[in-house]
Structure 1
Amino acid sequence: MSKATEKRIYFTRHAQAEHNVECDYDIRDAPLTPLGRQQSLELYKDTRDTVQKTAELIVTSGLRRPLQTMIIGYSDLRRRLESEGKSVIVLPQLQECNAFPCDVGLPRETLEADPEFAGLDFSLLTPDWTTKQGFYAPTVPALQARARWNRNWLRARPEKEIVVVAHGDCLRYLTEGFNSGTPWANAEVREYRFEKEAEDDVQGDAWLVSVGEIVKEGEEGPTSSQLESKVPKTY
């Protein structure tokens, strides 16, 4: 098992989705736009000879836009890992932070019925993953706790290099511990490592340290937290 400080986590924000274009946050589980699909293809081209050659695991949010970004952008990596018996992990804990319809995932059975997602394992999507309550609540304490859970989960994995596909606000909580407003472009990949080994981390926060930018295919599209005039809805 790799030392945590030697791990490399490649955090990827999804490509442009429909809600990014018109700031329409009422689109349930917003999918990629045609431009978003093109950005994902550019992501593929720019990582196929680097990250996709060496990464040992793909972990993705269960919302449609990161799933679609992963399928297009990391197709070689997915194919290689599945040939080795290692499936993509669809992790509900990586869902976006807010309770706008665009950030509320679809039920497991709906995703399983979509031909685009054929072959993916949605078994971790328990019924509560769409509730935006409890562990998934859009409150700062809950979001910080969920980000901490995700960091510890990643640190405990045996793989040395892990690709994570998620969302702008989620990535801010993961990498900085709060919603800093730090820009993340669509289809941007940044490399991180862990600050401490688990045994040296008294607080158990599993903080990350930035290593650098890998690729940046799109613009810095807004996240739902940047639309302050709307009231989040819970489904």
Structure 2
Amino acid sequence: MAPNTKVILIRHGQATHNLEDDFQQPDPRLTELGKEQCVKGLRDAFAAGEWEDFQDLELIVVSPLFRTLETAFLAFGKEFRDKKVPFVVLPEFQETSPNPCDTGSSVESLKAAFPSLDFRNCERHDWLTKSHGFYTRTNLGVRATCARKWLFERPEKVIAVVTHSGFLRWLTPQDFPFVENRDKYRNCEYRGYTFAQTTSDDGEGSPFKLVEEHWSVELRKAKRTGEVETPVLTADPSETAAEAIAPPSQGGDGAFDDPEQPTIVF
């Protein structure tokens, strides 16, 4: 691990399934608003200095779903094309639910749409199967730990991760019982993290625990000023994987995994 590695966690821009909560759409694309969010909310904001480590970015990790791949290219495409910052596409960072909207496309179609990217990690994983195996809801806790471990062991000092609201809750489970209204990520929202100095499993994102930086907390609060506060009921993602089994028919943006609670749509 690089000393004091900084990780910026980013949710994708608005996608077509977000408009009417249509979770039967297969691997949705970004809307026009979603594309604008990627440019103005991410790329322009970073270039203007809103995220001061942007200039030192060394790696972009991205979920292999269309909306995250599009988001990554709109936000970081120049850095990638200039060969300054590589992209790594990892199925471990895909969304959590087995719904069509949260299930990816074939490697062949991804290669056709994004010919400049390396999809070798998708070829050696059965990542499109969510009814059984590693990518089921039952294994979300394990998958999130594997994802944090992968980030922890990277040599880069500044890493961006483009992923999904549901999986973000599992990457930083300790955040959501405590932040305001169990705060979920908005489209194209980002938060900055470093790794905690801990190796024990405390049930709240350890080992390899990510802790939000103070500037990130304060920036988010400032951006939320004036928003109408609406209570959001969510499951506690720090529960064990065995307790997180949910019926495959549940809706949501892949963010809800507790069968004892009503479905929450993100």
> If the length of structure 1 is used for normalisation, what is the TM-score?
0.83
| 1:24-173 matched pairs, under 5 angstroms | 24-42=22-40, 43-48=42-47, 49=49, 50-80=52-82, 82-83=83-84, 87-114=86-113, 117-126=114-123, 128-132=126-130, 133-139=132-138, 142-173=139-170
Structure 1 equivalent of residue 191 of structure 2: 190
AA at the equivalent of 2:46:
T
Contact 2:95 2:254 in 1 (8 A): no
Aligned length: 216
Aligned-partner SS, 2:172: helix
Structure 2 equivalent of residue 2 of structure 1: 2
Relative distance call for 1:188 and 1:178 in structure 2 (3 A) is closer
Relative distance call for 1:174 and 1:226 in structure 2 (3 A) is closer
Give the share of equivalent positions with the same residue, in percent: 36
Relative distance call for 1:123 and 1:179 in structure 2 (3 A) is farther
| Long gaps (5+) in structure 2 | 231-251
Relative distance call for 1:64 and 1:51 in structure 2 (3 A) is farther
Contact 2:11 2:165 in 1 (8 A): yes
Structure 2 equivalent of residue 233 of structure 1: none
Relative distance call for 1:152 and 1:99 in structure 2 (3 A) is same
1:176 offset after TM fit, Å? Answer: 1.3
Contact 1:29 1:102 in 2 (8 A): yes
After superposition, the C-alpha distances for 1:58-102 in whole angstroms (9 at most, x for unaligned) are 00000000100000012233234x24xx53100010000000000
After superposition, the C-alpha distances for 1:102-124 in whole angstroms (9 at most, x for unaligned) are 0000111111112xx12011111
After superposition, the C-alpha distances for 1:150-193 in whole angstroms (9 at most, x for unaligned) are 00100000001100000001011001169765310100110001
1:12 offset after TM fit, Å? Answer: 0.3
Q: Which has the higher contact order (CA 8 A, sep 6+)?
A: 1
1:226 offset after TM fit, Å? Answer: 5.4
For the pair shown, the structure with the greater C-alpha radius of gyration is: 2
Contact 2:97 2:253 in 1 (8 A): no
| Long gaps (5+) in structure 1 | 231-235
Structure 1 equivalent of residue 240 of structure 2: none
Aligned-partner SS, 1:68: helix
Higher share of residues assigned helix: 1
Is residue 2:253 matched to residue 1:223? yes
1:31 offset after TM fit, Å? Answer: 1.0
Task: Give the aligned CA root-mean-square deviation in angstroms.
Answer: 2.6
Aligned-partner SS, 1:129: coil
Relative distance call for 1:23 and 1:17 in structure 2 (3 A) is same
Contact 2:13 2:71 in 1 (8 A): yes
Contact 1:17 1:33 in 2 (8 A): yes
Structure 2 equivalent of residue 13 of structure 1: 11
In 1: Cα distance, 2:94 partner to 2:39 partner: 22
